[in-house]
A and B are shown apart, each in its own frame.
Chain A
Amino acid sequence: MEIKCHKVASGRASGPALVTKDAISFLGNVDPETGMVVDPAHELFGQCIAGKVLVFPGGKGSTVGSYVIYQLKKRDLAPVAMINIRSEPIVAVGAIISGIPLVDRVAEKVLRLKSGTLIEVDADRGLVRIFGAD
């Protein structure tokens, strides 16, 4: 299945989805040394975002979150791609400075995808491909 989307940060990557309906504050919610979600109040608590296609509504919290995304990327602990319902500046800037493909303006049904579903994000063509969901 292919879904149209809007490119925020360029690039193309695929991986298993990690899906949450909670917004993410990269400063505070995610440990930059391990890529683990460390906020017990977050739906993804205890999960690792490294290598995943991270699907979440959008970012929140401190603007330092942009730099945390960059730090994760340098340690090979970042998501391979990200999908938002609506990107805000913290995640948008974080993805761009880190070279992580990011798209938004997708239908909310992507938040109901099962974690683990294989997804490809092709930001340059404005497409999300969901495998095994036809």
Chain B
Amino acid sequence: MPKNQKPLAMYLSREEEGIYQGEKGETLRRMMEILVALGDIYGAEKLVPVRSVQIAGVSYKNIGEAGLEWISDLQGRVVVPSILNPAGMDLCRWKEMGISEDFARKQQETIEAYRRLGVTIDCTCTPYQIYDSLASQGDHLAWSESSAVSYANSVIGARTNREGGPSALAAALVGKTALYGYHLDENRLPTSLVEVEAELRGSDYGALGFLVGRIVKDGVPFFRMPGRQPAPDELKALGAAMAASGSVALYYVENVTPVPPVPPGSWQTEEKICIGRKEIDEVYSKYSGSGADVVALGCPHCSGQELEAIARLLAGQKVQKELWVCTARKIAEEHADLVAAIEMSGARVFCDTCMVVSPATESFDKMMVNSGKALVYLPGLGGVAAGLGSLEECIDVALGRR
């Protein structure tokens, strides 16, 4: 093995330098090379330890044979708690989703390859809903899924960039990531002020995020919202939509989320955006759910509270259209009574996956959702038209009431 040239600018400790030179084997050498290459590209000063990792590149629909080959060839063990993005199917009930045997086999192989590396097999976009131990305020993380990244940065106050599959896996195996981007205070200052001039609830936050993401792109919006404060599930929906329609990875809500890392009043934004009821309602009317042949909830994955709301709305009734509810397996297991209640209606609760990453959506024409994120991704990634409505409207459509 040739001696590795020193990286351009990044400082490496003696131990890190040793890994970079291959003292701990070829897999770790390449993983360290990934971290150093990315650090060089983005001008990082050094590496920083991460508390947890969430790994992208799980749905076989996205990574294909090429990705599966790479993951299967790796030798090593993760050194920090590491979990996965959603997969392309419910790992147990894939047949009910209409998934082919071929796809299922490849998806299972992908999961097994991650398991061999010591990754915990939780496939979810909402790791923060199942484990408190993965992230706290101020922690450095290497998370992948865009809505999880936004939630970690904004609501938890942790620090993470949006990692790709290999860079997340590199962070998991080395236990570190390069210190750049959202790990640094200088990149965590608000860039746009958003005045929300209406009282919002539920899916309104998805519609708001849908609008604001398109305007601010990769900026850092600071929201002022009058009246009632958004609940965690509403913040989850807001961040998810902005990360999809733009690439927002961090936002603030005045008096709700952690604050910018500078004294109050010491930052200024170039841009001011006003969003009122009229703009929110225009999203609903432009992307109406009429003509939908399937309804899907749980983008990002449903929390226990959301499962409870769905179960309450469905109580004692039968669905007339397919209704899918997506959540993390651990959430479904913790709330087995709610899952059973939801399924009594004929609806199905799928775990480990969602409508955005599963090929199962392709057999439908139009999907009604309560998620601004799903609204953005379904037409391109899922090959299906999408309409947006509130949770109540979605349930009404599934029950054949509209």
Asked whether any CB of chain A lies closer than 8 Å to the CB of B34, the reply is yes
**Chain A stretch 12-38: residues in CB contact (< 8 A) with chain B:** 12, 32
Binary interface profile of B, 58-69, with partner A (CB < 8 Å = 1, else 0)?
000011111101
A-B pairs with beta carbons under 8 A, tally:
78
Write the residues of chain A forming the contact surface with B, with a CB cutoff of 8 angstroms.
6-12, 32, 63-64, 66-68, 70-71, 74, 87-90, 92-93, 96-97, 99, 123-126
Which residue of B is nearest A32, CB measured?
A: B66
Contacts beyond the supplied A89-B41, A124-B5: 8 A-B pairs with Cβ under 8 Å:
A6-B8, A10-B2, A10-B5, A63-B164, A64-B62, A97-B30, A99-B30, A123-B5
Given A10-B4, A124-B3, A93:B67 Cβ within 8 A:
no
Which residue of B is nearest A124, CB measured?
A: B2
Most buried by A among B66, B67, B69, B167: B66
Asked whether any CB of chain A lies closer than 8 Å to the CB of B166, the reply is yes
Which residue of B is nearest A11, CB measured?
A: B2
- How near does chain A come to B198, taking the closest CB pair, in angstroms? 37
Across the interface, B164 reaches (CB within 8 A) one of A10, A74, A89, A96, namely: A89
Given A10-B4, A11-B2, A74:B67 Cβ within 8 A:
no
Write the residues of chain B forming the contact surface with A, with a CB cutoff of 8 angstroms.
2-5, 8, 30, 33-34, 37-38, 40-41, 56-57, 62-67, 69-70, 164-167
Q: Which 4 pairs show the lowest CB-CB distances between chains A and B?
A: A67-B66, A71-B66, A67-B67, A63-B164
- How near does chain B come to A71, taking the closest CB pair, in angstroms? 4
CA distance A66 to B63 in the complex (A): 10
B-chain residues with CB within 8 Å of residue A126 when the two chains form the complex: 5
Across the interface, B166 reaches (CB within 8 A) one of A93, A99, A123, namely: A93
Q: Is the CB of B70 within 8 A of A70?
A: yes
B-chain residues with CB within 8 Å of residue A124 when the two chains form the complex: 2-5
Q: Is the CB of B166 within 8 A of A66?
A: yes
Q: List 13 A-B contacts (CB under 8 A).
A: A7-B4, A10-B4, A11-B2, A63-B164, A64-B63, A64-B64, A64-B67, A66-B166, A67-B64, A71-B66, A89-B38, A89-B167, A92-B34
A-chain residues with CB within 8 Å of residue B62 when the two chains form the complex: 64
Given A93-B167, A97-B166, A71:B37 Cβ within 8 A:
no
Q: Is the CB of A87 within 8 A of B69?
A: no
A-chain residues with CB within 8 Å of residue B167 when the two chains form the complex: 89, 93
Which residue of B is nearest A72, CB measured?
A: B66
CA distance A48 to B249 in the complex (A): 38
Across the interface, B63 reaches (CB within 8 A) one of A11, A67, A74, namely: A67
Q: Is the CB of A9 within 8 A of B33?
A: yes
- How near does chain B come to A93, taking the closest CB pair, in angstroms? 5
- How near does chain B come to A68, taking the closest CB pair, in angstroms? 5
Across the interface, B5 reaches (CB within 8 A) one of A67, A99, A125, namely: A125
Across the interface, A66 reaches (CB within 8 A) one of B3, B4, B65, B164, namely: B164
